[in-house]
A = this chain, B = another copy of it.
Amino acid sequence: MPRLVDHQERRRSIIETTWRLIAEQGIENASMRDIARECGYAAPGILAHYFPNKDALLLASYQLICERTNERIAAGTKGRRGIAALRGLCLEIIPADPLTVVEARVAVSFWQRAQTEDALRAVGRDALLQWRGLMLGFLAEAEYDGECEPLADPDTVADELLNIMMGLHVTSMLDPDAVTGSRQRHLMERILARLSRSGG
């Protein structure tokens, strides 16, 4: 089915161009016309073969970011369990390297739209639920394996990690010179070390 593959490939390529434009100039400034031009389409109407409108393109872009993050988490936690797996998950979500910085810029743009668009909000909420579920599993392993003390309140440990990771999307954007990748990793390592020591 070469034509179907081609269609999927082009959708991906359009989405990647969209990410780049959002990261460079902001979601409102990146028009369908700009995106079409950057993709090399002389007529913006060609985009409509792939995405009926900007909202559909943005929804697909956000979904693809979540999928790719989840693929990286799967790779980063493969063959690991407990604290090591938790570390693998956290390091794929925080915006501490050039790829995840672009993803974070796109995420911040989507959060704005998610406030008034249910479909976008559902994608963001589902990603949070998925990460939370993974974290609770890794925490249970850490407890079972004796890597940490019994956890009085694993839900709150997961809340803490999840909110720190979302917060880093914001603070690293507002103050990139101070909230560097290494400072972000230091923060996550400190929390994982405390968890290993005391169970939370």
Q: Which residues of A contact B (CB under 8 A)?
A: 25-29, 105, 108-109, 111-116, 121, 124-125, 128-129, 153, 156, 159-160, 162-171, 173-175, 183, 186-187, 190-191, 194, 198, 200
Q: Pick from A28, A115, A159 the residue with the most CB of B within 10 Å.
A: A115
Name the contact of A169 in the complex, choosing from B165, B168, B170, B191 (C-beta under 8 A).
B170
- Bound-state CA distance A159–B162 (Å) is 14
Question: Looking across the interface, which residue of chain B has its beta carbon closest to that of A107?
Answer: B170
Whether A174 and B124, one on each chain, are in contact in the complex, defined by CB atoms closer than 8 angstroms, is yes
- Residue of B112, B165, B168 touching A109 (CB-CB under 8 A): B112
21 residue pairs from A and B, CB less than 8 Å apart = A25-B116, A26-B115, A26-B116, A28-B28, A28-B112, A105-B115, A111-B173, A114-B173, A121-B173, A124-B174, A128-B171, A156-B186, A160-B164, A160-B187, A160-B190, A163-B164, A163-B171, A164-B164, A164-B167, A167-B170, A198-B198
User: Do residues A115 and B108 form an inter-chain contact, with CB atoms below 8 A?
Assistant: yes
Nearest-Cβ distance from residue A19 to partner chain B, whole angstroms: 13
Please give 16 more A-B residue pairs, beta carbons under 8 A apart, in addition to A108-B115, A111-B173, A124-B174: A26-B112, A26-B116, A28-B28, A28-B112, A105-B115, A108-B111, A108-B112, A111-B111, A125-B175, A153-B190, A156-B190, A160-B190, A166-B167, A166-B171, A167-B168, A198-B198
Q: How far is the CA of A183 from the CA of B183 in the complex (A)?
A: 28
Which residue in chain B gives the minimum CB-CB distance to A200? B194
Measured in the bound complex, the distance between the Cα atoms of B125 and A124 in whole Å is 25
* Contact assessment for B160 and A191 in the assembled complex, using a CB-CB cutoff below 8 Å: yes
Select which of B116, B129, B163, B174 is within 8 A of A125 by beta carbon: B174
